[in-house]
Amino acid sequence: MTQINFYLLPTDSPQRRLQWVCRLVNKAYKQGRHIYIHTESSAQAAQLDDLLWTFSQDSFIPHALSHQTGEFPPPVLLGYADEPSGKSDVLITLATNVPPFWSQFERVAELVDQQAEVKKYGRERYRFYTEQGCKPETHSL
């Protein structure tokens, strides 16, 4: 069964939420994980793509937008409309709704900040996972 983790962020800044994503990706990448980041839009995917190159001077995270990968995709992919191709074991989702392919991953990470709308949709996703028989874990950061 897929392990679901909700990370409750102490901020209401969309930019800080993306920085937390970068930190989580960096940690998972260093553990040898393959990560798919499912964003809400192409604009958010592009913004996160840029941020992954610059968020820390001490890290290097090989990544690409999922529709721009070649024969050998990097361990971190970003997408917004497509189901991921290839092997990824960690899904980080920033989308409003649970993507239909969530259960093909070993782990799902949901980052919920203090914006009212983000919290509302986070509660709906939490309820969805519970209804699917999962026992999501919650982590306050």
Cα 59 to its chain centre, rounded Å, is: 18
Contact 51, 106 (CB under 8 A): no
Query: Is the C-alpha dihedral spanning 126, 13, 49, 34 positive or negative?
Result: negative
The pLDDT assigned to 70 comes to: 67
The pLDDT assigned to 81 comes to: 83
The pLDDT assigned to 56 comes to: 86
Note down the domain range covering 52.
3-66+73-140
Taking only the tens place, the pLDDT of each residue in 63-104 is 989 877 667 789 999 999 888 877 789 999 999 999 999 999
The pLDDT assigned to 58 comes to: 83
Q: Is the pLDDT of residue 57 over 90?
A: no
User: What's the CATH code of the domain at 52?
Assistant: 3.40.50.10110
Q: Domain total for the chain?
A: 1
Taking only the tens place, the pLDDT of each residue in 8-43 is 999 999 999 999 999 999 999 999 999 999 999 999
DSSP 29: H
Report the residue count for the chain. Answer: 141
